[in-house]
Structure 1
Amino acid sequence: MNRTDHPHTFTQLNDLLDFLDLDRAQLTDLDPAPPGFGLRVPRAFAERMQRGDPADPLLRQVLPLTLERQTVDGYITDPVADAAAERAPGLLVKYAGRALLLVTGACALHCRYCFRRHFPYQDFGPSPARLERALTEIARDSQLTEVVLSGGDPLLLDAARLNDLIERLEQIPTLTRLRLHSRVPVAIPSRLSPHLAERLSASRLQSTLVIHANHAHELDASVCRVLHDWQAAGVMLLNQSVLLRGVNDCADSLIALSERLFTCGVLPYYLHALDPVAGSAHFQVSDATAKLLLETVRARLPGYLVPRLVRELPGDYAKRPLD
C-alpha cells in the first residue's frame, strides 16, 4: 500500500505500522485485536509521529499492547466512580456548582490510558430522550452554574446539534459558564471550526475550551493555527495532560510541552496522575517521581506555565493536588 493510499483514520495495527515504517519485530507485546477498545488513530495525528521510532511518545499513547489484558490490583473499569455520580442518564455531578454532560460516546483518537475506555455508553450514553432528561435536571438544580461538555468528544458532534445544545444551555438562567473538553484540536485540527469559536465567543455563557495534549510533538503548526484562531475569537484555552511513563515522564518533556502550549495560545491547567483504569497500569508513574518532576519544572518555568499536579479520587469534593 502506498502512503497516499492510507485511510484518514487507522483502525488496523498493520496499516499504522506500515505507515510509520515500523517492522513488527521492532515492537514486542503488540495486541492487534484489543478486546472492546480497538485502535483508532487519525492520520493527522500519525503524521506527527517519528517514522521508524518504536518509542515515539505519540505512538506510545495509542499502541495497543497485550499488557492491557493483565489484571492488576487496584486497576478497575470505573476508576473515578462515574456511575456513582450519575444524576440523570449522561449527566454526572461530582463537584459543587458543576455538572458534566456526556454528549457522545465517540472519540477521534483512542488513547490507551483513557479512564472511560470501559464506560457503558450503550446503557448511559447520549440519546435524544436521555439528553432531554439531563437538560431538565440541569434546569431544575439552581446550584449548577457551569456545564462541562464531554464524552467521548463533544467536538465530534455535527455543527447543528452542537449549536442546538448550546442554545438550550443558554436558556437556563442559572448557568453562567460552559466548558468543552476535547482531544479533537490535537487529533484532527481541521475539524475545529472557527465558526464555533465565534459562536461561543458571542454566547452569554463564558466559554472555555480545554484541550488534551501530553507531548509537545502533538502541537504542530496546523494545531497551533486553529488554536490561535480560537484564542483570537475570545475563547479561553486551557490544557490538561496525563503523566504517562514512556511518554512525558521527564522534566524536559513537560517543560517543552508547557512552552509549546503557550506559543499556541494555551495555558497549562492540570497534569493528571494516571487514573487507575483497567488496562493502563504500564503507564503508571509513582507519586514520588511525579512530585520531583514538578519541582524541576517549577524551578525552570514561570508559575503560569506550571500545570497543577492532581489526582481525581472518587467522592472527593475536587481534584486533589499532589504538589
Structure 2
Amino acid sequence: MITASPTSRLSPPSRGWREIWRESITDAGELLAAVGLAHRTDLLPPDDAGFPLRVPRGFVARMRQGDPADPLLLQVLPRALEHEAAEGYSVDAVGDMAARAGHGVLHKYDGRALLIASGSCAVNCRYCFRRHFPYAEEIAAAAQWREALAHVRADTSIREVILSGGDPLSLATHKLEELTEGLADLPQVIRLRIHTRLPVVLPERVDDAFTAWLADLPLQKVVVLHANHANEFDATVDAACARLRGAGATLLNQAVLLRGVNDEVGALAALGERAFAAGVLPYYLHQLDKVQGAAHYEVDDDRALWLMEALRARLPGYLVPRLVRELQGDPAKRPIADFAR
C-alpha cells in the first residue's frame, strides 16, 4: 500500500521560491552530471531544438542516479529525436490560436474560458503542447488582466475561469490577486480552476502568502496538478498538497501517456495510488498532443486502450483516470474509446 508522507506542512523555507527557481538547472551537461551520467553526452542533441532546458534541482533529486531511462529524466532531457519531422505533428497541436477570444484568452468549451496567465514554467517538459506558443504576444496578465476580464464580463455563460500557461503559479501572488479582485465583480463566475506543475516540481511555491490568497477566495477552487509518474511525489509535494487542500481546493491530477515514462500498467497504477495518497484524485490521462518535436513519446491508441483495461482490473474505479485526446474544434475532450468504434 502506498501512503503519503506523515509530513503535513512544508517547513518554512530558508529561501523564497523564486530564489530556488533561479537556481534551476538549464544546461543539459550539468543535468547529466547531477544524475551520474556525465559520460553520456551521446544522449544529447547538438542544440536544444528551440526549447530550452529548465528543471528545478529538487525535481532532479528525485531522479535515479546512473539511469538514462529514469522516467523523470526522460521528461526533461533534450533528445536528438526532437529534430525529426513526423507526419501529423505541428506547432499548434490543439488549435489554440483558432480559439483565441481576446488577449491571452482561449474560449474552446461552453461555460469555460481559459486564460494564458504566464509564459513561464518552472520546468520545461519536452512533450509540452505549447512549446511553440507565442507567449510574448498572448499573456492574459498583461495590463492588469483588463482584456481578459472584459471578455469574461461580456459573456455571462462563463461560469468557470481556467488559469493555464506556461504555469499560472509562476506569477507572483499579488498578480493572481489582481485577477481575482476583477472576478469578484462578475457574479456568473463561480469557479476558478488552476492548472499547474509547480506544486510538483517546485513545491516551495505553495507558501503562506499563496495559501492565504487561495483560502480567502469566495469561489469554488480546483487545482489540477500535472504529474506523470509516482516518483514525482515526495514529502515536499505531499506537504504542498496538504496546504492546497487546507485552503479549500479540490485537487485533481492529469497525466500524459508517454512512451518510456509511464506506458506500463504498473507505472500507471502506482501513479494513481501515490497521487491519491497525497490527496489528489486521478482525472485525465491524455494521449499525446501532436506537437512538433514530441513524436517519440507517442503511444498508439491500441496499446493505450489495453493499458486502461488492465488498469481497471487492478484499481478501484475512482483511481482510474479517463483516457482522452484533445482535437481542434471538438466541444470537449474526446474519450479514446470513441476512436475504436
Q: Go from structure 1 to structure 2 and tell me whether the alpha carbon gap of 1:211 and 1:32 turns closer, same or farther (over 3 Å shift).
A: farther
SS at match of 1:41: coil
Structure 1 pair 134–152 and aligned structure 2 pair: CA distance change class (3 A) = same
Q: Give the letter aligned to residue 80 of structure 1.
A: V
Give the Cα separation in 2 of the matches to 1:35 and 1:309: 29
Displacement after TM superposition at 1:309 (Å): 0.3
State which of 106, 115, 125 in structure 1 corresponds to 2:129. Answer: 115
Paired residue for 1:215, among 224, 229, 248? 229
State the AA in 2 paired with 1:22: L
Residue 59 of structure 2 corresponds to 45
**1:20 has 2:20 as partner:** no
Q: How many residues align?
A: 316
From 185, 203, 206, the counterpart of 1:171 = 185
Match of 2:292 in 1: 278
Q: What is the CA distance between 1:123 and its match in structure 2?
A: 2.1
Q: CA deviation at 1:322?
A: 1.4
Match in the other structure for 2:241: 227
One of 289, 293, 297 as aligned partner of 2:307: 293
2-structure distance, mates of 1:146, 1:127: 17
| Structure 2: distance between partners of 1:206 and 1:278 | 36
For residue 283 of structure 2, the aligned residue among 241, 244, 269 is 269
TM-superposition CA deviations, 1:223-268 (whole Å, max 9, x none): 0111012213321000000000000000000000000001000000
Shift of 1:201: 3.2
Partner of 2:103: 89
TM-score (norm 1): 0.94
Matched residue type, 1:287: D
Secondary structure, counterpart of 2:223 in structure 1: strand
Equivalent residue runs for 1:137-286 within 5 Å: 137-286=151-300
| Structure 1 alignment gaps of length 5 or more | 1-6
d(CA) in 2 for partners of 1:220 and 1:43?
14
1:73 lines up with 2:73 in the alignment:
no
Q: Which residue of 1 aligns with 2:5?
A: none
- CA 1:124/1:130 → structure 2, altered by over 3 Å: closer, same or farther? farther
Deviations 1:115-161 (CA, angstroms, capped at 9, x unpaired): 00000112223453383111101111001110000111011111111
Deviations 1:6-27 (A, max 9, x none): x8200001111111110343x6
Q: TM-score, normalised by structure 2?
A: 0.90
Q: Which amino acid aligns with 1:139?
A: R
CA distance in 1, matches of 2:314, 2:208: 34
Q: Is the 8 A contact 2:222 2:252 kept in 1?
A: yes
- Displaced runs of 4 or more, over 3 A: none
Alpha-carbon distance between aligned partners in 2 of 1:50 and 1:8, rounded to the nearest angstrom: 20
The separation in 1 between residues aligned to 2:292 and 2:197, in whole angstroms, is: 21
1:200 is displaced (CA, Å) by: 2.5
- Correspondence for 1:8 among 23, 42, 63: 23
Residues 302-321 of structure 1 aligned to structure 2 (within 5 Å): 302-321=316-335
Deviation at 1:32, TM superposition (A): 5.2
Q: Give, in whole Å, the separation in 1 of the partners of 2:315 and 2:181.
A: 40
| Distance in 1 between residues matched to 2:208 and 2:269, nearest whole Å | 29
Give deviations 1:59-114, integer Å, cap 9, x for gaps: 00001011101111101000100000000010000000000001110011000000
Equivalent-residue separation in structure 1 for 2:182 and 2:46 (angstroms): 42
1:205 alignment partner AA: L
* Secondary structure of the structure 2 residue equivalent to 1:102: strand
8 Å CA contact 1:194, 1:230 repeated in 2: no
